[in-house]
Amino acid sequence: MKKNTTIKDIAKLAGVSIGTVDRVLHNRGRVSKKALDKVNQALKELEYTPNPIARSLRNNVVYTIHILIPDAKQDPYWEPCMKGVSELMDEFAAFDLNFSLHTFDPSKPKSFLGAGNKILGEDPDALLFVPLFGKESTQLQKELNDRNILSTTFNSPVWEHVHHHVGQDLFLSGRVGAKLVSNLIDKPCEIAIIHVEEAYNNAAHMQEKENGFRSYFEEQHTDFKILTLILGSKEIRNNFDATVKKHPHIEAYFITTSRTYEVANAIHKLGIKKPVIGYDLLPENVVCLHNDKVQFLIHQAPRQQAYLGLRSLVEKLLFNKELAKVELLPIDIINSENVKSYL
Amino acid sequence: MKKNTTIKDIAKLAGVSIGTVDRVLHNRGRVSKKALDKVNQALKELEYTPNPIARSLRNNVVYTIHILIPDAKQDPYWEPCMKGVSELMDEFAAFDLNFSLHTFDPSKPKSFLGAGNKILGEDPDALLFVPLFGKESTQLQKELNDRNILSTTFNSPVWEHVHHHVGQDLFLSGRVGAKLVSNLIDKPCEIAIIHVEEAYNNAAHMQEKENGFRSYFEEQHTDFKILTLILGSKEIRNNFDATVKKHPHIEAYFITTSRTYEVANAIHKLGIKKPVIGYDLLPENVVCLHNDKVQFLIHQAPRQQAYLGLRSLVEKLLFNKELAKVELLPIDIINSENVKSYL
DNA sequence: TAAAATTATGTTAACGTACACATTTTTTCT
DNA sequence: AGAAAAAATGTGTACGTTAACATAATTTTA
């Protein structure tokens, strides 16, 4: 029933003007010690919290927020990110926000750096980006930090200079995959981790997953043999029987990227029926789930990552909400049944 | 860079005063046809959207929001809901919102109805509640609708009179359980669905899950035998061997409630090692996950359900955000590894 | 046709915050 | 002491929306 206290209430209780209260609140000086004490006392007594709505109306500024993500045309994994971004834009359409969307070629670090520099040139208030390339991303992040530009990264692993990051624990993600595999096989046996090599290599990403995967089986103290294979897309499509011949005892496959369907289809074509576990809800992967060519997918929630990252930035700018350094999303396990509830 | 257009801009372009523009916007009459046309023209031309911040500052009202959920002391399942509720309260602490939390005894419909009536007597702006009891909930919901009180239900199944609901597709949830079971057994075999009978019986809940579960296996066209057992907590703890003796060929257990750990512990005590799949991340269940007494849990996300339900209400009141009739949350599959990322 | 009634339109104050500016009080210096 | 400088405090306005109120224009009525 009671309205929150305002700076007016504070002023009255402290016996000063709202101007003085305001100076205390933003400690911009020009306040006598006596007044300061009285105001602080009143502030404590009435448990004042500023009204974020009034504040943001007053501070009415047009913020410019840039978004830098890989081009979905070159890797459909990024499509949901676009969706997450536009979802957020719609949600905040009524605010004075200026969004500017940039994409880069995920196979070309230079493309990333070029877009990054262009954005810096436009004096942004905030930037959401995917730090796909270690060196270039560090460089960009440093510059952002130096120039005090708000930033959030997502999807790729966190590193030291990061200001705010939304993502998943990839090591744990690998362990989740391992546990799922262990549910589907008779132990001990031979298991393959397949890194699908792309035009670009998100090596840290894959490596973390592999480490997690291996750590799980090491803890089991049973005699598993875990192979790591690095294969190109073409190799998988046209020449997978060579791999199978070379390693005839593989009992399960763990694919560390969204290219899961390529492996699943390749082994299916060879008439092999072994568990396949992989990543991401690409339409091709979902089809494999329904065909039982893939038993489980691990969902990296790219839409949510982009949405939440952007949302954090917006709420920081508009309402001065605090940013946690790292926001870790849950690691979702998907099968043919619950997939529907995630789309 | 450009600020959103304001009602002032519209007024200038239309050659009228802001008062007239406002009257047009809220069509409260007293506007000549000529002025109306000019304003509508300007409105379209400048793509006006009202500034929600200014609006809610102006409309500055203290809203009273009530929350009615089962007492967590009597069923720990509801603990996360409390957490979700207080999380939201913190988040919106700076707004003029008055939250009022009520609990009821989940074994006593009268307790629900009593609390409901008390809330109605306090003339609330909105109510979030768990419609645990069909008849009583319908009655409450009708009254809310008649009196035009904003309301959201969560957790229990949706029914016709509902205004806004947050929950999961329980039929699908049963299917998810079935699929997980099918990954862990050699078919065909005998499977038990166990409904743990409580002081109260959320029958519709359990039945939906059972239906989903059975529908999956029916589609498989293989000879599964699916038993349905309704057992009391005490029966499970002290007398489970009788059940096992009666049904010696059960190869997997699907438990439809958060009491999963009771069954898991009971069969473990009897030295049986068969797959157990159940519901909810109660600490006892999580322990079972780590002990491998339970292979998978299905997460009903009570914290998120409460949080999202309440958030929808708050955003409707404060910012006039639209409410979808039903919000279905994803059905999360939990194993010993990813559980950490959900807590 | 002039007064009264009706309808259309404009003006202004408020929501709570923030800050520029004006005013008052205190301190410093000659 | 008295002027000047510095410090402290108060006042007013704007952010965009809303609605009560005031005023102006038009229509109705006697």
Task: Kindly list the structural domains of chain A, giving each domain's residue range(s) and its CATH number in brackets, ordered by start.
Answer: 7-50 (no CATH), 59-167+302-329 (3.40.50.2300), 170-299 (3.40.50.2300)
Which value, in Å, is the radius of gyration of the alpha carbons in chain A?
A: 26
C-alpha dist (Å) from residue B339 to A281, A340, B207, B282, B295: 20, 21, 26, 11, 12
Strand C: protein residues, Cβ closer than 7 A:
A 3, 6-8, 18-19, 22, 25-26, 28, 50-51, 54-55, 57-59; B 15-20, 23, 29-32, 34-36, 54, 57-58, 60
- Phi then psi for residue B260, to 5 deg, are -50, -45
Q: What is the pLDDT of residues B131-179, one digit of tens each?
A: 999 899 999 999 999 999 999 999 987 677 888 999 999 999 999 999 9
Cβ-based contacts of B57 with chain A (< 8 Å): 51, 53-54, 57
Which among A96, A168, A184 has the least Cβ separation from residue B183?
A: A184
pLDDT of residue B199: 67
Task: State whether B53 and A51 contact (CB < 8 Å).
Answer: no
Q: Which chain B residues in 304-343 lie under 8 Å from chain A, judged by CB atoms?
A: 328-338, 340-342
Cα(B288)–Cα(B297) distance, rounded to whole angstroms? 10
Query: What percentage of chain B has pLDDT greater than the value 70?
Result: 99
Cα(B138)–Cα(B160) distance, rounded to whole angstroms? 9
pLDDT of residue B96: 87
* Residue B74: both structure tokens together: 């009597």
Q: Which of A9, A122, A338, A340 to mutate to test the interface with B (most CBs of B within 10 A)?
A: A338
Q: How far is the CA of B60 from the C1' of D25 (A)?
A: 35
Cα(B204)–Cα(B211) distance, rounded to whole angstroms? 10
pLDDT of residue B320: 80
- Phi then psi for residue A193, to 5 deg, are -95, 125
Q: Which of A331, A339, A343 to mutate to test the interface with B (most CBs of B within 10 A)?
A: A331
Task: State whether B183 and A94 contact (CB < 8 Å).
Answer: no
Q: B70 in helix, strand or coil? A: strand
pLDDT of residue B1: 66
Cβ-based contacts of B176 with chain A (< 8 Å): 335, 337-338
Q: By the CB < 8 Å criterion, does B168 face chain A?
A: yes
* Residue A131: both structure tokens together: 């730090």
CA-nearest residue to A321 within chain B is B91
CA-nearest residue to B183 within chain A is A184
Q: How far is the CA of B30 from the C1' of D20 (A)?
A: 15
Cβ-based contacts of A60 with chain B (< 8 Å): 3
Q: How confident is the model at residue B80 (pLDDT cuts 50, 70, 90)?
A: very high
Give the position of tokens 């359990």. Answer: B206
In DSSP terms, which residues pair with A332 in a beta bridge? A299
CA neighbor of B327 nearest in space, from B162, B137, B86: B162
Contact B98, B62 (CB under 8 A): yes
CA neighbor of B250 nearest in space, from B235, B234, B266: B266
Q: What is the pLDDT of residues A124-183, one digit of tens each?
A: 999 999 999 989 999 999 999 999 999 999 998 767 788 899 999 999 999 999 999 999
Min Cα separation B3/chain A (Å): 6
Q: By the CB < 8 Å criterion, does A62 face chain B?
A: yes
Contact B302, B84 (CB under 8 A): yes
Cα(A208)–Cα(A57) distance, rounded to whole angstroms? 45
Residue B223, pLDDT above cutoff 90:
no
* Residue A115: both structure tokens together: 């877009």
Task: State whether B338 and A330 contact (CB < 8 Å).
Answer: yes
Contact B156, B204 (CB under 8 A): yes
* Residue A47: both structure tokens together: 């448990």
Q: How confident is the model at residue B188 (pLDDT cuts 50, 70, 90)?
A: confident
pLDDT of residue A198: 77
pLDDT of residue A341: 97
Q: Which of B9, B53, B186, B329 to mutate to test the interface with A (most CBs of A within 10 A)?
A: B53
Strand D: protein residues, Cβ closer than 7 A:
A 15-20, 23, 29-32, 34-36, 54, 57-58, 60; B 3, 6-8, 18-19, 22, 25-26, 28, 50-51, 54-55, 57-59
Contact B342, A330 (CB under 8 A): yes
pLDDT of residue A199: 66
Query: What percentage of chain B has pLDDT greater than the value 90?
Result: 78
Cβ-based contacts of A98 with chain B (< 8 Å): 1-2
Side chain identity at A289, as an amino acid letter?
L
Q: What is the pLDDT of residues B16-33, one digit of tens each?
A: 999 999 999 999 989 999
Size of interface A-B (CB pairs under 8 A): 117
Per-residue pLDDT of chain A (343 residues; tens, 9 = 90+): 678 999 999 999 999 999 999 999 999 989 999 999 999 999 999 999 999 899 999 988 899 999 999 999 999 999 999 999 999 999 888 888 999 999 999 989 999 999 999 999 999 999 999 999 989 999 999 999 999 999 999 998 767 788 899 999 999 999 999 999 999 998 789 999 999 987 666 778 899 999 999 999 999 888 899 999 999 989 999 889 998 899 999 999 999 999 999 999 999 999 999 999 999 999 999 999 999 999 999 999 999 999 999 999 999 888 888 888 899 999 999 999 999 999 9
pLDDT of residue A137: 93
Q: By the CB < 8 Å criterion, does A30 face chain B?
A: no
Q: What is the pLDDT of residues B236-286, one digit of tens each?
A: 998 899 988 999 999 999 999 999 999 999 999 999 999 999 999 999 999
